[in-house]
Structures are given as C-alpha cells and as structure tokens.
Structure 1
Amino acid sequence: MAREKEIATAEQAANDGLVLAFGRLQGAANRLEYILGRAIEEECGISHLMFEVLLILGRAGEAGLPMRAIAQERVLSTGGVTRLVDRMEAAGLVRRAADPGDRRGRLVRLTPQGEETVVRAARVHRENIRRHFLEPLPQEHRDRFAEDLKTLSHAARDALPKLR
C-alpha cells in the first residue's frame, strides 16, 4: 500500500481516500437500512428494529433471552430494549416469562404471531436484500464482499468491549 499523505487541510480531509471509502460504506448502509426497513414496515407492520429483535429471539429458540442479552446484541440501553419489548408485547409478537435460572429475571420469547411475523418479514427482507444489496454488485464479487463484511463486523464487535 502506498504511503498515505498527511492530512493538513479541510480539502485534503474531505477528499482522503480512506475517509471517502468509510463515508460511502456508512452512506450505503444508512440508505439500505432506510429502503429495507421501510419495506418491512409497509409490508409487515413492524419496524426494522423490531424485526431485528424478532431475529435475535428466533436464534435463541424456545428458551428465549433476558432483556440484557437483547440489549447487548443490539447495542441498546436496557431501558430502550424494555420500551421496545413493551411495544412488541402489546402487539402480540413476544411474551415475557419467568427465568428459571434467575428468580427476579424475565425471559423474552416469541409468540406464534411473532414467529409468523418474523418469517413473513424475513421473506420480504431477503428479496429486498437481493434486489438492493446484491444485484448492483458484479456476480463474481458478491461472495467475497459478504465475507469481507463479516470480517469487518466481527472486528468491530471485538473492539467494542475495549471502548467501554
């Protein structure tokens, strides 16, 4: 890799290759989240964040998860997760149950309606991912791109505890 120039001016900062590349990644992620999230909302009646929590609970299986685990998975405050789960419970998507391993704790589990909703939303989401995320890329780059994103995601996840 060529030696990078020192940033000394606002123009150099704005036109720096690494800064631009990250900005493009962030811009693409924000736009795609809006496009895909809006489709889930319009077609399934849930927010993208609710969809993500339903997916997290789907991965957890029948056992469910405590609120703090959902908060950690989504990098949300426990208060934010509590309010979100309250709305999801009112919508019939999840239910809270006693945690057999913690007398004071509660587990969040999918309801049958939550299961149906996450399946329907995942089908919509998958098609929109294909259309807006994969189809714009050359066929021969798609698998490598997905692997690179996984690497970046894991590296960022692993760096988070060091920042707290």
Structure 2
Amino acid sequence: MSGVEEFGSGQEAANDYRVLAFGRLLGAANRLEHLLGRDLEEEFGISHSIFELLLLAGRAGSQGIPVRDIAQARVLTSGGATRLVQRASALGLIERENSASDARIQLIRLSAHGEDLLLRASTRHVENIERHLLNLLSPGEAEVFSAAVKKISKHAARELPIMP
C-alpha cells in the first residue's frame, strides 16, 4: 500500500484526516452546487450543467469549442456531452457548426440569447459564490484557497483519462 499503513478498524479509517479532508471537500462542493444550481434553475430556468456549458462556450469565444472538449471539461462521455449540447440548443442558448478544417468536429458557440443569459446568470452566480464561499474566508484565505483548488484541479485533469 505504497507507504501508507493499513488501518486497524473501520472507525480508524473513517476518521483518518485524509479521508475526512476529501469527504469535506466533496460535501462542500455538492452542497454548494445544489445551492447555486437551485438558484440558477429558479432565477433563469437553466441547470448548473447548462450554465457550465455556457461558461465553456463563453471562454472559447467566436472560435467555438468542440463537443469532445466539452465532454473532457465536464467529465462526461461524448454521448452525455452531445445530450447537454442538444438541450442547450433546444433552448436557443448555443449555435452548432461543423469545423471548417474537419467536418466531423462540431463547434459550439454562444447564441446572442445564450450570451445575454450567461451575463445575467453570471452576475447572480458571483453574488452567490461570494455569499456562500468567499465571504466566509479572509482575503488571504480566499487567495490561498483559490490557488490550492486550481492546483488540485489541474492535477486531477492531467490524471483523468480521455473521456469516451
């Protein structure tokens, strides 16, 4: 077990500081996603998954983002990403176009309606992030937290296999 001693009991394993730290991270992320996602749904009629898709398309700008990159970024299968794109397209939030260099690649861009919704929803989302996360921390803690989460996320992304 690569340098980690085996646990003597289930209670010992469950109370290990590493297990607790990861559990708290997941718990906090799940609770925050529920709170912030519920608000996006109530205020703007979109799921958190659709909002994340709009953010990815917004980051890509006018060049668009391939569906396979959406799948990888959201940790979805290609079929899951396709269904997400179809839902956003049905709502008129994105536009799809085949890549000029490879017609097999579909590029996703924000529609004018999608950009408008993204701007309004992002303002509300940032208010909620500040209220439920950042305002609980001192400015120094928020900076350290942000850097640590970025480091962890980048490492996990590098370790993640290519999504099917």
Same fold, TM-score > 0.5, yes or no: yes
2:73 paired with 1:73 = yes
Aligned residue type for 1:13: A
Kindly tell me the number of residue pairs found equivalent between the two proteins: 162
Q: What do residues 103-139 of structure 1 show as CA deviations (whole Å, max 9, x unaligned)? A: 2332111100000011111101100000001112234
Q: Which residue of 2 aligns with 1:138?
A: 138
Q: CA deviation at 1:30?
A: 0.5
Aligned residue type for 2:134: L
Aligned residue type for 2:66: P
2:85 paired with 1:85 = yes
- Secondary structure of the residue aligned to 2:42 is helix
Q: Which residue of 2 aligns with 1:27?
A: 27
**Cα RMSD between the aligned structures?**
2.0
Q: Which residue of 2 aligns with 1:129?
A: 129
Structure 2 portions without partners, runs of 5+: none
Runs of 4+ displaced beyond 3 Å: 3-6
Aligned residue type for 1:134: L
Task: Output the CA distance in 1 between the equivalents of 2:45 and 2:136.
Answer: 27
Relative to structure 1, the CA distance from residue 136 to residue 4 in structure 2 (aligned partners, 3 Å threshold; closer, same or farther) is: farther
| Alignment TM-score, normalising by the size of structure 2 | 0.91
Task: Output the CA distance in 2 between the equivalents of 1:104 and 1:145.
Answer: 40
**Equivalent residues in 2 for 1:1-164, closer than 5 Å:** 6-161=6-161
Task: Output the CA distance in 2 between the equivalents of 1:65 and 1:6.
Answer: 45
Relative to structure 1, the CA distance from residue 17 to residue 107 in structure 2 (aligned partners, 3 Å threshold; closer, same or farther) is: same
Q: What do residues 56-88 of structure 1 show as CA deviations (whole Å, max 9, x unaligned)? A: 011111011221111111111111111111111
Which shows bigger deviation, 68-77 or 137-146?
Answer: 137-146
Structure 1 portions without partners, runs of 5+: none
Which shows bigger deviation, 138-147 or 127-136?
Answer: 138-147
Q: CA deviation at 1:6?
A: 4.3
Which shows bigger deviation, 130-139 or 42-51?
Answer: 130-139
| Alignment TM-score, normalising by the size of structure 1 | 0.91
